[in-house]
Amino acid sequence: MNAARSTAFQSRRFLAQVVGSNKGQDQPKASSYKVVVVGGGAGGLSVASTLSETLGNNAVAVIDPSDVHYYQPLWTFVGAGLKTFDESKMPMSEVMPEKAQWIKNSVASFSPNKNTVTLANGDSISYDYLVVAAGIQVNWGKIKNLPQTLGKNGVTSNYAADSVEKTNEFVKAFKGGNALFTMPSTPIKCAGAPQKAMYLAEEQWRKAGIRDKTNINYFTGLGKIFAIDKYGNELLKICKARNLNINYFTDLTEIKPDTKEAVFNIIGGDKKGSQLTLPYDFLHVVPPMSSPDFIKSSELANADGWVDVNKDTLRHNKFSNVYSLGDCSSLPTSKTAAAITAQSAVLKHNLLNDINGEGKEPSKYDGYTSCPLITGSETLILAEFSGYTGKPQETFPFDQSKESYLTYLLTKELIPEIYWKSMIKGTWDGPAKYRKLFGSA
Ligand code: UQ1
């Protein structure tokens, strides 16, 4: 965070303490709302901002236990020392929509037949409409010894607030040897991030003159480097040119900190069913992820645990006054903040249509998602596509599968501004209209 922003951050927090905020846990809460939004992340805030502006004071509640809201797409840059951690965070009280009530608690269970949610403190909150935007659960404990080794002796992850800065620290301290980067076989948020960490570390080691003393291996649980071949083919060329070895169908299961070894299960190909143990000097881990436990165990979940919504309308398949978007939803596209820009516009249109009873044509989500694949400290491949059709949906009138400095700058400098100033305030519906403007659709 730059000095001016940091000072603004602190003085706003100070002001909130002195004059008292109309948000937060010290306010008496109603127990009934027109709309209850579960989750104060990218999806929850984009929806709650517009709905609370439209429906007025205290019609909308946002349930979230977190003190801090993170712009997680910045964490790849933070892990490479290209942005500071402070730039990725804001106090939740600062980003909560002015006219919404913040219920600073977690959800213990849902009772969609009664239109209520029960909080961890036992309180029951009732709603006319429910929006579930609870994000994805990172299952750190599913990799043996990961919780106690993370952030120590070369083991790091860009997926945790308390280890992301360690990535940069360990990359800088690395003196050569075996560097391993992992990606699990489960769905994850930002499926490109595991390999972005590798491209940025490799560049740093090359610049430090230790590249010839370094073996770099990428282990993915999947059978492809990227779901969409247009981008995957370019990434394969980059891996080849930069001598990055890709190992498919390999799932990290255990870290042995004493011997500095990583253990992988081989889950496909010729050696399916066997294990592989490799020594590491640097290990960037992306753990398996799943739907949050409190959703998995609820009536809202499909067989895989995700909130079971219609892929076009985002409305729940069984409970018609329930919607979901983002990482915890069953929407069959890749889980990114960019996807949420398009999803939130559809959800708001359809939900306000229900509330106003105007009988407008429902809006339909087309599966738009995007992955800004950072390939170096000046280059990026901006993948934009529909997860439903697999077809590219690029915004700009040039081939976005080629590495570009323009899309690098866009992702590093402009998109975070769009996020803080517009997306979480409910006024950014994604780049679809620019796609039409540039004639690239
Ligand atoms: C986007 O709108 C967005 O949300 C603000 C992101 O989230 C981090 C993105 O990564 C991307 C790529 C977009 C798309 C925006 C443009 C201008 C292509």
Domain 138-289 in the same topology as domain 2-136+291-366? yes
Name the β-bridge partners of 250. 266
* Residue of 341, 420, 434 to mutate, ligand 1, most atoms within 8 A of C-beta: 341
Which residue among 371, 373, 423, 424 is the active-site one?
371
Which numeric CATH code is attached to 2-136+291-366? 3.50.50.60
Quickly count: other Cβ atoms within 10 Å of residue 12's Cβ: 14
First to last CA, the chain: 36
Instruction: Tell me the CA–centroid distance for residue 158 and ligand 1, in Å.
Output: 19
Q: Please, what CATH class does the domain formed by 138-289 belong to?
A: alpha beta
- pTM for the predicted model, two decimal places: 0.93
Domain regions of the chain by residue span: 2-136+291-366, 138-289
SS3 of residue 262 by DSSP: strand
Amino acid at 217: N
Name the β-bridge partners of 127. 33
Task: Show pLDDT as tens, one digit a residue, over the chain (441 residues).
Answer: 344 444 434 433 333 333 334 444 445 567 999 999 999 999 999 999 999 999 999 999 999 999 999 999 999 999 999 999 999 999 999 999 999 999 999 999 999 999 999 999 999 999 999 999 999 999 999 999 999 999 999 999 999 999 999 999 999 999 999 999 999 999 999 999 999 999 999 999 999 999 999 999 999 999 999 999 999 999 999 999 999 999 999 999 999 999 999 999 999 999 999 999 999 999 999 999 999 999 999 999 999 999 999 999 999 999 999 999 999 999 999 999 999 999 999 999 999 999 999 899 999 999 999 999 999 999 999 999 999 999 999 999 999 999 999 999 999 999 999 999 999 999 999 999 999 888 765
How many CA atoms within 13 Å lie on the side-chain side of 367?
13
Amino acid at 43: G
**H-type helices in 89-140, by residue range?**
92-95
Residues at CB less than 6 angstroms from ligand 1: 73, 337-338, 341, 370, 372, 395, 415, 418-419, 423, 428, 430-431
CB-based burial label for 242 (10 Å; 0-12, 13-18, 19+):
middle
